[in-house]
Amino acid sequence: MTQYSKRIVILHWLTVLLVILAWYLGDNLAEATDNSKATLAGYFLHIFVGSVIFLLTLSQLYFCRKDGRPSSLPDKPMHKIVAKYVHYLLYVVLTVLPMSGMTIILTSKVGRALVAGDANLLPKEDGFKDVFAQVVHEQLVNVLIALVVLHILGAIKHQFIMKDGLISRMSLPKKD
């Protein structure tokens, strides 16, 4: 096997797009909350995107197991170890991050506001200061950003320094 299956490639790039969208929505939601202008729609949209990321991540893990992975490329042993753990941690963070978001809903005013359909019940400025899951969620976003940067740097190293065509493994197969 020289590249990932078509469905894994699609799941990967769809997850990338949705992670960017979730980060953007979450950042806007945090700013709106601090300005007491958050909306139920903003929360619902962020929750929906986070939930889809969670499902896509689980699907990707399942299909990687079912379809297999390409064999590893020649590299220094330490680089292989770093790559392995960066991928592993990406999957962990992409599953735990949505769980921390759900915990926020269950342990803050957000859940009550969403169930009641009343935006007036949403947290206002400093409304999450006593919600530990919010701190975890924000820190996991920082960890995710660091892991994504490492992941991209690894891909750039392989593509432009080692010139081993690694990026083609995560592209859709060409039709003959």
Return the number of other C-beta atoms located less than 10 Å from residue 157's C-beta. 15
Per-residue pLDDT reduced to its tens digit, 19-77:
999 999 999 999 999 899 999 999 999 999 999 999 999 999 999 999 988 877 666 77
Per-residue pLDDT reduced to its tens digit, 140-151:
999 999 999 999
Residue 133's alpha-carbon distances to 97, 98, 99, 130, 139, in angstroms, are 10, 11, 9, 9, 10
Q: What is the pTM of this model?
A: 0.91
Residue 120 token pair: 């007036």
The continuous run of DSSP H or E covering 95 comes out as: helix 77-107
Q: What is the pLDDT of residue 129?
A: 86
